[in-house]
Amino acid sequence: MQLYNTLSAEERAQLIDEAGKQRLTLSFYAYAKIENPKQFRDELFIAWNALDALGRIYVAHEGINAQMSVPADHFDAFRDTLEVYDFMKGIRLNVAVEQDNHSFLKLTIKVRHKIVADGLNDETFDVTNKGIHLKAREFNNLLEDPNTIVVDFRNHYESEVGHFEGAITPDVETFRESLPIINEKLQDFKDDKNLLMYCTGGIRCEKASAYFKHQGFKNVYQLEGGIIEYARQIKEENIESKFIGKNFVFDHRLGERITDDIVSQCHQCGKPCDNHTNCFNDACHLLFIQCDECKAAMENCCSTECLEIIHLPLEEQFKLRKGLQVGNKIFKKGKSEALKFKKSGDLPNKPLAKVNTKNIRQKISVKKVLVGKAEHYYTKSKIAQFLLEKELSVGDKVLISGPTTGEKEFTFTEIFVNGKPNETAKEGDQITFPLPFRVRLSDKLYKVLS
């Protein structure tokens, strides 16, 4: 029986477009004792492939972690495939606020040693023996108890732009680093303190809660559903937010605003700012905080070195990248000597500034019009190909936007129309043009209007 993808990402995207059906992007996780992860993986692939469900899923002896795209009209049938397993009965599915039919273009289910790497090698550790789950109101109440210690189990680049008041925010790159650091720091409080923890969606602090119970901590609590669910509950129930700033998210937005507080600085000039940028240099992609002024001056780059590189001919850029580790191996998370105002670890509990609502309105008022959609999927940063829905010309300022690509503005200096160089392209034309970054099938092309 077929237990692998037979369609390319490009072919899958074309089928999705032709079907014209809405898809839902969602995520879920569950810790459980799975005796045979490979068999579990095969059962899921067969069931989900039949429903045209796509996504990136990890399974292990300790459970499942999934980010998926499911046809809206198959949502109930998809939930039924989960209900087959006792540990996933009634599981919470976190449906994304912003939907994209091309969020996932393959069904990939991988068997891993663990669904969340923790660096532990202790067979007596039971990850399902978790702490007490708290809803937003309960979490707030316990935060106000002077006998409570609250810990952020996210990484430095996440907590820097937003965190709960009074939280311990470890200066770590990975979850596995935080466990021994917090364990050592809190050794004297095992019996007489409330240990309160949180993360983005719950999967990391749930494992952390089990770990600290295993270490002998008596009163262990976690925020149910993480910051994502907390934000939903405080809005629906009109509860005061004890979280200040932004919640870092792992899609093209790089953050959801919870309050109008800004608690971080532009890493280049020190101005209050909490907007993350991926360095425009394809051989860098450093994730860092950059204000609009520095973004314009540095052209989305983290350093003068990267700024010089992006202005080299594409052939020269390719030569410089030759031999470098690519993909996720070259992505770094906001630590570089070039970033003078990077703050992590001990973070402020008071905002540095408030969001300028006037600037927000100005940004919203910037007009753009959809002119094309990506038509071809190139695996390397070289050529963009779009099918036009409106006229476009050399000299036009455009924006390429997508869930992975993010938002990148530039001005056309040359275009090829139906394979030939031309100054203007019209509706129905296929255009190609060189770019220093990779274009994906989910990307859309907008013309920026003055």
At 264-295, the pLDDT tens digits run: 999 999 999 999 988 888 888 889 999 989 98
pLDDT for 4: 63
Task: Tell which wins on pLDDT, 99 or 414.
Answer: 414
DSSP helix/strand/coil, 207 = helix
Confidence (pLDDT) at 211: 92
pLDDT in tens, 52-96: 999 899 999 999 999 889 999 999 999 999 999 999 999 988 776
- Residue 445 tokens, joined: 């092309």
- Residue 180 phi/psi, 5° resolution? -65, -30
Candidates 199, 279, 291, 302; catalytic one: 199
CA distance 116 to 245: 26
Contact 72/24 with Cβ under 8 angstroms?
yes
Which class is domain 9-111? alpha beta
Structure-model confidence comparison of residues 340 and 253, the more confident one: 340
pLDDT in tens, 366-408: 578 899 988 765 545 568 889 999 999 999 999 888 755 667 7
Percent of the chain surpassing pLDDT 70 = 87
| CB-based contact 64:115 (threshold 8 Å) | yes
C-alpha radius of gyration, the chain, whole number: 23
* DSSP string covering 302-363: SSHHHHHHHTS-HHHHHHHHTTS--GGGG---S--TT-TT---SS--SS-SEE--HHHHHHH
Residue 330: what pLDDT? 43
Does the structure show a pLDDT above 50 at 364? Answer: no
| Cα distance between residue 291 and residue 295, in whole Å | 6
Token look-up 């532990």 returns: 120
Give the chain's mean pLDDT. 85
pLDDT higher than 60, residue 263 = yes
Sheet holding 415-417, edge to edge: 406-411, 397-402, 444-448, 368-374, 383-388, 430-434, 415-417, 420-422
Fold of the CATH domain 366-448: Elongation Factor Tu (Ef-tu); domain 3 (2.40.30)
Domain boundaries, the chain: 9-111, 366-448
The DSSP secondary structure of 24-82, one letter per residue, reads EEEEEEEE---S-HHHHHHHHHHHHHHTT-EEEEEEETTEEEEEEEEEGGGHHHHHHHH
SS3 breakdown of the chain: % helix, strand, coil, rounded to 5?
A: 30, 25, 45
**Is 199 in the active site?**
yes
pLDDT surpasses 80 at 117: yes
